[in-house]
Amino acid sequence: MTDVNEIQRRLVELDVEHRDLDAVINKLTDDGHNDQLQLRRLKKRKLQLKDHITLLKMQLVPDVPA
């Protein structure tokens, strides 16, 4: 992915998914949801999204000469 517009579009998609997962996790936790495996999977996916977002943001930052 080298096109800046493509990267920005993907960032928006991932950010929305990340926020949605956060809301789902909070709702399940507040409701006293006991399915720990599901919560663990959702949290893991949320962390993967965060890592992917960070990598894409790094692609948008121009290289700074040393």
Q: What does the pLDDT read at residue 2?
A: 63
Residues 6+ apart with CB under 8 A from 9: none
Q: Measure the CA–CA gap between 63 and 40, rounded to whole angstroms.
A: 36
List the domain boundaries for the chain.
4-60
State pTM to two decimals. 0.82
Q: What string of pLDDT tens digits covers the 66 residues of the chain?
A: 568 999 999 999 999 999 999 999 999 999 887 789 999 999 999 999 999 999 999 988 877 776
